[in-house]
Amino acid sequence: MAIAVAAISLVGCNQEDPIKTKRNRLEKEMEEESKKVYEISKFTFDNWSQVQNPATEGGKATLMPYWLPVEKEDKDATEKGRFWKSASNRGFSMNFFNEDRNHADKYPVYWTEQGKSGKGLQLQTAKGLMFFGTGSWIIPGSLYNGLLDEKIMAVKPLESTLFGTEFAKLPSKIKGYYQYKAGPKYIDGKAGKFDTPAEGKDQGVISGVFYEITENETYLNGITLYTDKRIVSMVKMVVDDTEGDSWKAFEVKFEPVDQERFKAIDFKKKKYRLAIVMSSSANGDKFLGAIGSRLLVDELEVIAERKDNQDKK
């Protein structure tokens, strides 16, 4: 009782109501937030087309056996000219011993007709091939924006995936819908024998990595995606099995990784890239996963603060 009276007396003397102070602070934060101007990049995964091989001189362009999502950012229908890349599909197509290589719906990256709205993205971990120490017994279904260095895919698969496209905005959050179902057996894709069990259970992953472009170092790759010193902010959402066929909504915020780089963001003097990476096997970069693991994603949105708003700060 004495403590309560003392507290009331203190508020009266200082003329400060802690509840009112907190409310004012929250209102100020909301006001500042409302002043920000945001842009939304939305990916519906409704439109797909078959990937083209570049036309040879004097020849005709041929079609690859797999498909990828179509976006307004695409320059052409070749793998190189598209916004979305899939080393998974390219690798799957290179396995000439695979009887499914000519069936697009068997590829690690394909669509589902039962999307949240229209079609949706389907990523599925498929069986791979080990050949004289190269390759892997698993091929996780992975989709990302960036580049694919096909020349080194067979010998340096992780370094062949070059993540991110130039982005002159400050990413705030990623949201959308997903479903996930892990495959029955978690295995080591680099073991000498197929189907060698590994400890744990498969999980999916949806991530975004915002990083600074420097002169000496360019793209993040499968080795440096989450560890590079140039990363400014990042979100990495690892997902487990969802119930039935229902879609689960998600919304995750980018968190600063390097506070100094984050505070020093300058779109006038520096350049940045944003990488969006999704995979049916979260540890696929370590060649761990379960054949049959499936991640569905739809209505994916990247919400970012516009460049012109940044310039005013």
- What is the pLDDT, as a whole number, of residue 54? 75
Nearest partner of 63 among 12, 102, 13, 14, judged by Cα: 102
The 3-state DSSP class for residue 276 equals: strand
pLDDT category, 59, cuts 50, 70, 90? low
Residue 115 CA to chain centroid, in angstroms? 18
Residue 184 has what DSSP assignment? S
Share of the chain above pLDDT 90, in %: 74
Task: Say which range, 69-78, 199-208, 303-312, has the weakest mean pLDDT.
Answer: 303-312
Nearest partner of 89 among 122, 62, 115, judged by Cα: 122
| Environment class of 34 (CB within 10 Å of its CB; exposed 0-12, middle 13-18, buried 19+) | exposed
262 contacts 310 by C-beta, under 8 angstroms: no
Residues 79-113: tens digit of each pLDDT: 999 999 999 999 999 988 888 999 999 999 999 99
Diameter of the chain measured on Cα atoms:
94
Please check the confidence at residue 26 and state whether its pLDDT lies above 60.
no
Please check the confidence at residue 34 and state whether its pLDDT lies above 60.
no
- Higher-scoring residue by pLDDT: 237, 12: 237
| Alpha carbons 12 and 224: distance in angstroms, whole number | 57
Average pLDDT, the chain: 88
Nearest partner of 177 among 106, 130, 241, 117, judged by Cα: 117
| Environment class of 121 (CB within 10 Å of its CB; exposed 0-12, middle 13-18, buried 19+) | buried
The 3-state DSSP class for residue 201 equals: coil
Parallel, antiparallel, or unpaired for β 48-52 and 38-43? Answer: unpaired
pLDDT category, 231, cuts 50, 70, 90? very high
What's the token pair of residue 194?
A: 């197929």
Please check the confidence at residue 16 and state whether its pLDDT lies above 80.
no
* 78 beta partners: 52
Nearest partner of 69 among 150, 106, 123, 149, judged by Cα: 123
| Alpha carbons 305 and 230: distance in angstroms, whole number | 20
For domain 38-306, give the CATH number: 2.60.120.890
Domain residue ranges in the chain: 38-306
Cα of first residue to Cα of last residue in the chain, in angstroms, is: 49
Residues 114-159: tens digit of each pLDDT: 999 999 999 999 999 988 778 999 999 999 999 999 999 989 999 9
pTM for this prediction: 0.85
